[in-house]
Amino acid sequence: MGLPKEKESVMPEQKKQVGGGRAMFGDFAPKMAALTDDVLFEDVWNRPELSARDRSLVTVAVLTAQGNTEQLGFHLGRAVENGVTQEELIEAITHVMLYSGWPRGMAAMGVAKNLFTDDK
């Protein structure tokens, strides 16, 4: 027997998520820039099934778990813009570290510390 179907939830209006692929690479790698802006951000990030806030938490968790610190600073900033608090991000990184590995968690926390302490 499966789980009961949840009632459809209505997400509150949220800021449209926009990519920066064309600004960064449009003249150098136009297809990659277009895919980033048109597929990743225009389509996936703006789907109504998850809020931008939830997508930000998922993205930070995945980047932390995979050790992709190059993109983490950008996505930590976007997460804050999408309503995730600094405390929640620190907790998410701490939680993920215990599943993905100490070095990856420490590296991600280093990125977060630099971002959050430089802004103050």
Same domain, 57 and 93: yes
Residue tagged 């103050």 (tokens): 120
What CA–CA distance (Å, rounded) separates 119 from 29? 31
pLDDT digits (tens, 9 = 90+) for 15-28: 888 888 898 898 99
pLDDT digits (tens, 9 = 90+) for 59-107: 999 999 999 999 999 999 999 999 999 999 999 999 999 999 999 999 9
Q: State the residue range of the domain holding 82.
A: 50-120
Same domain, 32 and 55: no
Q: What is the pLDDT of residue 1?
A: 53
Around Cβ 71, how many Cβ atoms within 10 Å? Answer: 14
Q: Count how many domains the chain has.
A: 2
* Three-state DSSP class for residue 39: helix
- Whether 101 is covered by a domain: the verdict is yes
The DSSP 8-state label assigned to residue 103 in this structure reads: H
- Whether 9 is covered by a domain: the verdict is no
pTM of the model: 0.82
Q: What is the pLDDT of residue 9?
A: 47
- Whether 3 is covered by a domain: the verdict is no
What CA–CA distance (Å, rounded) separates 44 from 36? 10
Same domain, 65 and 107: yes
The number of residues making up the chain comes to 120
Same domain, 37 and 85: no
Same domain, 41 and 77: no
Same domain, 71 and 37: no
Signed CA dihedral, 37, 39, 43, 45: sign only: negative
- Whether 11 is covered by a domain: the verdict is no
